[in-house]
Every structure is written in structure tokens, then in C-alpha cells.
Amino acid sequence: MSITSPHLGSPAVWTDARLLYALEEVVEKELNRHLKVAKDWMPHEYVPFSDARNFPGFFEDGEAWEKEQSKVTEVGRVALVVNLLTEDNLPSYHHEIATLFGREGAWGTWVHRWTAEEGRHGIVMRDYLLASRAVDPDKLEQFRMSHMSEGFESDNRHSMLHSIAYVAFQELATRVSHRNTGHHSGDPVCDRMLARIATDENLHMVFYRNLLKAAFELAPDLTMQAVRDVVVNFRMPGHGIPGFERAAAQMAIGEVYNLRIHRDDVLLPVIRHLKVMEIDGLGAEGLQAQEELGMFLGGLDSEAAKFDEKLAARKARMAARAAG
């Protein structure tokens, strides 16, 4: 079901509609593979409901939330709120990809399956946070209302290839963020829950990564340009969350997600797996994009090294204070 042409990278040939059609067979194959390896799981099985108690409001025995009730670390609370609020925008994400990929055939089946699986993540995270009193429930709801009321518009909605490239990296970024949040949460129950979510995110990443591989085979020049654009301009879908910049800084210092992690654990694994920097036979625009991508990654490594030095110096100061 592929479209042939004398120059596969020609934008005159590869419209979004043709690419959707050409990749349908790959989507079906990847969907079938995904359904074989994905395992259904029950969100309620990961929530410590026995720890739950009423909050103030309609219940006379309601107990107000206090920070001391939380079992998770400070950075854990910050990251959990960011991660959950990001998951909360699922209706907007569904609208974006359903509009872009369509609701028919294998594409439509994948869109709905992905949405259903992602829905579990918000359910289990919110139930965990409320049952364990990990975060302030009033602020969490206020943030949710503010964030969702702003709506969401993808930076890559103008192009199918850009969207595929973005989600290949973004799903891995989400997996890494969830996994590291669990590691730094200080609560084994939280860690176990986020590990389960991270498993889903990894499968989603593999789906899109394989789709991106097929896109490189069909339209290497255009796909290379899309990857360059996405990598250079990448930002997480939760960037509109109230106080996101401050939260992102706390997560960076807490080693949940920072420049080094972004480069080494998110960008490079996908790029190396697809051997993006080794692809040959590119046209002039593809070669330029490949070169610019390599230069950007080198510059990002330098920036990450500076961040590493600052983080190490900060840890040394904190250790000295504790020893004193």
C-alpha cells in the first residue's frame, strides 16, 4: 500500500493525505503487534484505598489536608502534579490526533485504543494522590480547571510527519518522567504505580518510533526535516500548566527531568535506534536538516554539561551544610 515516486522526498508528492494512506499498512501491523504485547491492568489495584479518609466539605468527619500527611518527597509532589495535569488534557490530545490521523481504519482504531489506555493513567494517578493525601487536593483541582480551561493546541498540528516525530520522542519523555518521579517519590506504592504507567508509555513510544522508521523509508528528506524541527523546538505538552517553569526547574534539580536526561535518555535513544545520523541518499534539504540536527545535539550536550556542573556544585554545598 505504498506510493512510489521518482523522488520520495519531494513535497510535491508527499501530502499529508498520501502519507496517511501510505502508512496505513504499517499502522495496522504495529497496532496488531501492540495489542499482542499490551496487557490490560486495573487502576484500582494500584491505589491504597485503605489509607483514604474524608476531606472537609459535606462530611462532618472531614480532615483538612496538611503537607505532613504526604508520604512523598517535595520533588515527588511537584512532579506528580505536573504529570497528572499533563494526563488530564487527554480530551484535547484525542481531538488533536483524531483530527490529524482520522477515525477510520487502522488509524482510527489506534487513536481510540491509545486514548483508552492513556485514560487509565489519569484515573490511577488521581485516585492515588487523593487516597494517599500526597498533594493538596484543592490546589490540584484549581490547577486542573485552569490548565484545561486554557485548551491545548499542538505545536505540530500543521504536519503529520512532525506530529509522528514529536510523539515518538514525547512518549519516551513521558515514560522517563513518570519513572524518575517514582524513583524520587520516596513511596514504594507510588513507584510501583508509575512503573506500570511507564510500561504503557514505552509501548506507545515503540509504536510511534516504528511508524517514524517507516516514514524515513518512504520520505527520508521530509522526515529528516520533521525530526530536526521537532528536536530543536521540543517542549512537553504540559508547558501550559500554571507555574510550569518553576515546577520544571524543581524537577530538573531533583533529577526527575532535566537537560541531561532529555538529551541522553529521550533524544539519543530514538535517534540511535533509527540510525538517523547514518541515513544516506538524502537530497540537499535532508542533508542540511541532518547536519543541523547533529549540531544541535552537540550544542545540547555542552548545555547539559554546564547544568551537570551546577547541579554537582549545589549538591556539594548542601552536603557541606549538612556536615556542618
> Per-residue pLDDT tens for 225-261?
999 999 999 998 888 888 899 999 999 999 999 999 9
61 CB-contact burial (10 Å; exposed 0-12 / middle 13-18 / buried 19+): exposed
Is the pLDDT confidence value at 4 over 80? no
Percent of the chain with pLDDT over 90: 77
> Per-residue pLDDT tens for 84-124?
999 999 998 998 999 889 899 999 999 999 999 999 999 99
Q: Give the pLDDT score at 14.
A: 80
Q: Is 258 left (phi over 0), alpha (psi -120 to 50) or beta?
A: beta
Using CA atoms, how far residue 41 sits from 38, 131, 195, 203, in Å, is 10, 19, 12, 14
Q: Select from 197, 191, 249 the least CA-distant residue to 71.
A: 191
What sign does the dihedral 241-208-163-108 (CA atoms) show? negative
Confidence band of 8 (pLDDT split at 50, 70, 90): very low
Q: Give the pLDDT score at 83.
A: 95
What sign does the dihedral 39-132-251-233 (CA atoms) show? positive
Q: What is the mean pLDDT of residues 169-175?
A: 97
Question: Under a CB-based contact definition with an 8 Å cutoff, are residues 56 and 64 in contact?
Answer: yes
Identify the residue whose cell numbers are 518512504.
218
Q: Give the pLDDT score at 320.
A: 83
Cell numbers standing for residue 159: 504536519
Question: Under a CB-based contact definition with an 8 Å cutoff, are residues 285 and 9 in contact?
Answer: yes
Element of type H or E holding 166: helix 160-183
Element of type H or E holding 122: helix 105-132
Percent of the chain with pLDDT over 70: 96
Q: Select from 111, 154, 117, 94 the least CA-distant residue to 24.
A: 111
> Per-residue pLDDT tens for 17-38?
888 899 999 999 999 999 999 9
- Mean of pLDDT over the chain: 92
d(CA 221, CA 285): 7
Give the number of C-alpha atoms closer than 13 A to the C-alpha of residue 107, restricted to the C-beta side: 19
Q: What three-state secondary structure class fits 274?
A: coil
d(CA 140, CA 157): 28
- Decide which of 155 and 219 is more confident: 219
- Decide which of 190 and 102 is more confident: 190
Is the pLDDT confidence value at 74 over 80? yes
Is the pLDDT confidence value at 138 over 80? yes
Is the pLDDT confidence value at 200 over 50? yes
Q: Give the pLDDT score at 315.
A: 86
Q: Give the pLDDT score at 7.
A: 41
Q: Give the pLDDT score at 153.
A: 82
Residues of the chain by 3-state class (helix, strand, coil), percent to 5 = 75, 0, 25
Q: Give the pLDDT score at 9.
A: 43
Q: Give the pLDDT score at 316.
A: 87
